Amino acid sequence: MASRSLQLKILSAVAVFGAWQIAGMIPVSYAFPTFLESMSALGRMAVDGSLYQAYLETLKPLVVGVAISAFLGIGLGLWIGLSSKFDWLFSPIFIVMQAAPLAALIPLLVMAYGIGLTSKVFVVCIMAMPVIVLNTAGAVRNTPSSIKEMGRSFLGTDVDIILKIIIPAASPVIFSGLRLGISAGFIGAILAELKITPTGVGDIITYSRSIADYPSMYAAIFSIILLAVVFLNIVERLEAYLFEGNVRGYASD
């Protein structure tokens, strides 16, 4: 089974990259390099070290923003899910945050916090936090009342019920929120680098485009997608490690 799923993954990668290669060779556009050209540009940037320097720059707001969003977001989400007063107070903020077009808010953030790290962290948080908070709150609110009642009747304290019943029960949805939030955080980090000040990977993208070095531009885009996929896989592993039962598919019970 595992090897079959690996085979399918490889097959799907070959199909996508093959299509990319062919499309680049036709070419569909002057500005569209082939897969191999992009990969050699990626290799070149990796060898001369410019890629790592760029990621050092990009990862700062990304990691800080995602970490804040994850901890604060899950914490706030728990609170919102547990208390209806808190729900009334805070849910609207996150719903508005989720609906707001971020690009339009960036000039306001720059005016308030300048063009440094703070603004970029904010952009990442605005992208990542709402979905984490709202998913967590929804999952906590929808914990089956009978197992909460069971916890109370067997003398569980409030802390017991939150830690041993509500969080494990909500964990599949919390983690799906976390995955969505992290991918939104990646969007936010790149958006910040494109819209605020060109640094890191955003700089490679902007600069390569301006000098028509399209293979480098596509290589940078490809690398950030790859990183996001790897990151999401790590989160998935973390979930499987922390909440073993979630991968067992009991939800379809």
List residues binding another protein (CB under 8 A). Answer: 144, 146-147, 149-157, 160, 164-165, 168-169, 243-246, 248, 250, 253
Write down the least CB distance from residue 176 to another protein, Å: 16
Judged by beta carbon, residue 56 or residue 242, the one nearer another protein is 242
Write down the least CB distance from residue 162 to another protein, Å: 13
Judged by beta carbon, residue 96 or residue 242, the one nearer another protein is 242
Q: Which of 137, 244, 245 is nearest to 253 (CA)?
A: 245
Judged by beta carbon, residue 26 or residue 159, the one nearer another protein is 159
What tokens does 205 get?
């993208």
Write down the least CB distance from residue 82 to another protein, Å: 18
Judged by beta carbon, residue 54 or residue 169, the one nearer another protein is 169
Write down the least CB distance from residue 99 to another protein, Å: 34
- DSSP states along the chain: -HHHHHHHHHHHHHHHHHHHHHHHHTTS-TT---HHHHHHHHHHHHHHSHHHHHHHHHHHHHHHHHHHHHHHHHHHHHHHHH-HHHHHHHHHHHHHHHHS-HHHHHHHHHHHHTTSHHHHHHHHHHHHHHHHHHHHHHHHHTS-HHHHHHHHHTT--HHHIIIIIIHHHHHHHHHHHHHHHHHHHHHHHHHHHHHT---HHHHHHHHHHHTT-HHHHHHHHHHHHHHHHHHHHHHHHHHHHH-GGGGGTGGG-
Judged by beta carbon, residue 26 or residue 253, the one nearer another protein is 253
Write down the least CB distance from residue 202 to another protein, Å: 41
Tokens 């067992």 — which residue?
A: 248
Write down the least CB distance from residue 109 to another protein, Å: 41
Q: Which residues of 26-47 are buried (b: 16+ CB within 10 A; e: fewer)?
A: eeeeeebbbbebbbebbeebee
Judged by beta carbon, residue 48 or residue 149, the one nearer another protein is 149
Write down the least CB distance from residue 32 to another protein, Å: 48
Residue 54: how many other CB atoms lie within 10 Å: 22
Judged by beta carbon, residue 9 or residue 152, the one nearer another protein is 152
